[in-house]
């Protein structure tokens, strides 16, 4: 029977250069979608999937993330004094229980695989989930909950999948499918990181949700460099094929690539339209600017 997924890694050490100058002093994971930072969406998705321990792999200039998931005593006292009960509850709700969060610094930007490897001592011998906050997936139940529910049956390693256009395959890890099991599960026989269009085995791209067995850390320990001269998580997963079953999971829900300006703006508009108190004003504004 597959091991229980209790821990999740959040690699948050990236520089966020696409959003400069905003990210000069603010971590890109703290950019707000409507009124909540990207990283909080990812943490809430993990918590709603049953994750109990949250491991952040940070870098220089990321202290705002640590502060966000901690008590803000002066703010909380001020809100309480002024009788602002609803905002106070929102602030308190973002704070995990004591001991649920751990932070480790990735001292060099050597790639996603290296960031995951940095968390190895916090994970130990358990399966682990990995969530990339750049990929905001809007759906209930969340993408990770969908994956874990299926993982409980099949075990192995599991990746979230989405179809992308031929022009975009060179920006993603792409799977080589072996067979499909129903509408959601795909048995994977190969992976290619950021292939040329002519070399891509499919248009099924790996999206930022993973469930991996702890042996991934042994594979990453070789520090083998891949695309871009970085330690690629995709390469390490590919090397485990044959030793560990690998499945792709077609999740339900709308995914926004918030690592790009367009995807980030789309997420803000879409999630604002989901808020009854904002929808009418947003629709009126969109109608107004569409006529100009």
Q: What is the pLDDT of residues 26-38, one digit of tens each?
A: 899 999 999 999 9
- Assess whether pLDDT exceeds 80 at residue 240: yes
Helix-helix angle 261-273:276-290, to 10 degrees: 120
Rounded-to-integer distance, Cα 58 and Cα 103, Å: 7
- CB 244 within 8 Å of CB 213: yes
- Assess whether pLDDT exceeds 80 at residue 226: no
Residue 41 binned pLDDT confidence (cut-offs 50, 70, 90): very high
Residue 188 binned pLDDT confidence (cut-offs 50, 70, 90): very high
Choice between 237 and 224, residue whose per-residue pLDDT is larger: 237
- For residue 146, give both structure tokens: 């969908």
Domain coordinates of the chain in residue numbers? 7-290
Q: Compute the average pLDDT of residues 46-60.
A: 94
CA torsion sign for 43, 259, 236, 181 is positive
Q: What is the mean pLDDT of the chain?
A: 91
Residue 161: closest CA among 56, 246, 264, 245: 246
Q: Compute the average pLDDT of residues 163-190.
A: 87
One of 3.90.550.10, 3.40.50.300, 3.90.76.10, 3.40.1350.10 is the CATH number of 7-290, namely 3.90.550.10
Rounded-to-integer distance, Cα 235 and Cα 209, Å: 16
Residue 186 binned pLDDT confidence (cut-offs 50, 70, 90): very high
* pLDDT at 292 (0 to 100): 65
> pLDDT > 70: what percent of the chain?
98
Residue 182 binned pLDDT confidence (cut-offs 50, 70, 90): low
From the CB of residue 113, how many other CB atoms can be counted at a distance below 10 Å?
Answer: 26
- Assess whether pLDDT exceeds 90 at residue 277: yes
* pLDDT at 223 (0 to 100): 80
Residue 19 binned pLDDT confidence (cut-offs 50, 70, 90): very high
């Amino acid at each position: 029977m597959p091991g229980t997924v209790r821990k999740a890694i959040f690699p948050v050490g990236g520089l966020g250069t696409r959003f400069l100058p905003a990210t000069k002093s603010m971590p890109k994971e703290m950019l707000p979608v409507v009124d909540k930072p990207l990283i909080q969406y990812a943490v809430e998705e993990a918590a709603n999937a049953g994750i109990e321990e949250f491991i952040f792999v940070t870098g220089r200039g990321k202290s705002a993330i640590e502060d966000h998931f901690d008590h803000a005593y002066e703010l909380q006292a001020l809100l309480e004094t002024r009788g602002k009960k609803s905002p106070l509850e929102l602030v308190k709700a973002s704070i995990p229980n004591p001991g649920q969060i751990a932070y480790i610094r990735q001292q060099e930007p050597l790639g996603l695989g290296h960031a995951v490897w940095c968390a190895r001592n916090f994970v130990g011998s358990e399966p682990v989930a990995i969530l990339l906050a750049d990929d905001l997936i809007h759906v209930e139940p969340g993408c990770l909950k969908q994956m874990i529910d299926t993982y409980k049956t099949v075990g192995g390693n599991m990746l979230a999948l989405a179809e992308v256009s031929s022009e975009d395959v060179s920006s993603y890890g792409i799977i080589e499918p072996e067979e499909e099991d129903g509408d959601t599960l795909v048995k994977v026989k190969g992976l290619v990181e950021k292939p040329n269009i002519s070399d891509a085995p499919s248009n099924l791209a790996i999206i930022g949700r993973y469930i991996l067995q702890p042996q991934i850390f042994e594979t990453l320990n070789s520090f083998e460099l891949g695309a871009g001269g970085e330690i690629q998580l995709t390469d390490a997963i590919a090397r485990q094929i044959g030793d560990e079953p690998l499945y792709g999971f077609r999740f339900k829900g709308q995914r926004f690539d918030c690592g790009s300006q367009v995807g980030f703006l789309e997420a803000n508009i879409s999630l604002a339209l989901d808020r009854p108190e904002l929808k009418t004003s947003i629709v009126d504004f969109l109608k107004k600017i569409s006529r100009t």
